[in-house]
Amino acid sequence: MSSTLQYRRAKDKVFLCVVCILSSLTMIPLFLILWELLKKGYKQINLSLFTEVAPSSMDAMLARISNEPIPGGILNGLSGTILMLAMAIVMSIPVGILSGIYLAEHKDSKFSSVVRSLTDLLQGVPSIVVGVVVYAWVVRPMHSYSAFAGSVSLAIMMLPMIIRSTEESMKMVPGTLKEAGLALGASYSTIILRILLPAAFGGLFTGSLLAICRVMGETAPLLLTALGASAVNLNVTEPTSAIPLLIWEFYNDPNLANLVWTTSLLLLVFVLVINIIAKNIAKKWKIQ
């Protein structure tokens, strides 16, 4: 009898060890990536990174020969990313949140289940395909690569995540709140806007932030839509750069290759910070 117990305890311990080891293994890649980026990129971190545009190949070559840090920064990419993300947010968040509310409020209708499955499929569409389609829809008719086209492709990629996170967080709101609002004589739209949406706000906000994180590093669709630019561009109809596009450009130019690490580090830090903020908000706004 007691030997079975001992055997069970031993088995339990072994299992726990294995699980712990395996889960710590999953943390290794992130730390390796961060370490690698820091090691290779720290030399280029300075203020001009945020205040100057990407250097020309010639300037970078001269700096390399005289063994100085490469001049210039990534301001054109940073501004382009912010511009395109802002436009993508304006396009996708209202549509995404409204569709999410519809899906949560009409769980069982035929139309909802169609929308739900299509949303899942949209999430699975490869980003390069989204880029090609937006190229055909926006870039060709406008006869120019543009920040607008880039933001359309980002908005399409954000939509499914926003829709599903809205739906999930609306479903988490207890039905008794809806009844309470109804019993006070409030109209349906008032209940949605003033009771259910605020109660689900934490989830909506987190979902939107995570969607932003997700598309922040998208490169393929931007290559076909925003193209890139060597100067800061805030005109939405002109080609525009973005941080991931700059990484791609730096990678393709041996003189600029050193900047790849710093730029990647920066992009990763942005994504991680937004992620952490999103997680904290989710915790803080959790419905009791």
Subset of residues 192 to 231 that bind another protein, contact rule: CB under 8 A: 194-195, 198-199, 201
Region of 59-67, 79-87, 172-180, 251-259 interacting with another protein (CB under 8 A): 172-180
> Is 288 a binder of another protein (CB under 8 A)?
yes
Binding residue for another protein, selected from 75, 191, 229, 260, defined by CB under 8 A = 191
Residues 71, 58: Cα–Cα separation, whole Å:
11
> Is 159 a binder of another protein (CB under 8 A)?
no
Question: CB burial class (10 A; 0-12, 13-18, 19+) of residue 18?
Answer: exposed
> Is 176 a binder of another protein (CB under 8 A)?
yes
Closest distance between another protein and the C-beta of residue 176, in Å?
A: 4
Smallest CA-to-CA distance from 145 within 240, 239, 242, 76 is with: 239
Residues 197, 84: Cα–Cα separation, whole Å:
26
Residues 201, 44: Cα–Cα separation, whole Å:
40
Cβ-based neighbours of 286, under 8 Å, separated by 6 or more: 202
Region of 69-77, 150-158, 189-197, 276-284 interacting with another protein (CB under 8 A): 189-197
> Is 109 a binder of another protein (CB under 8 A)?
no
Closest distance between another protein and the C-beta of residue 116, in Å?
A: 21
What is the residue type of 216? M
Cβ-based neighbours of 171, under 8 Å, separated by 6 or more: 104, 107
* Binding-residue total with another protein (CB under 8 A): 22
Residues that bind another protein (CB under 8 A): 174, 176-187, 190-191, 194-195, 198-199, 201, 287-288
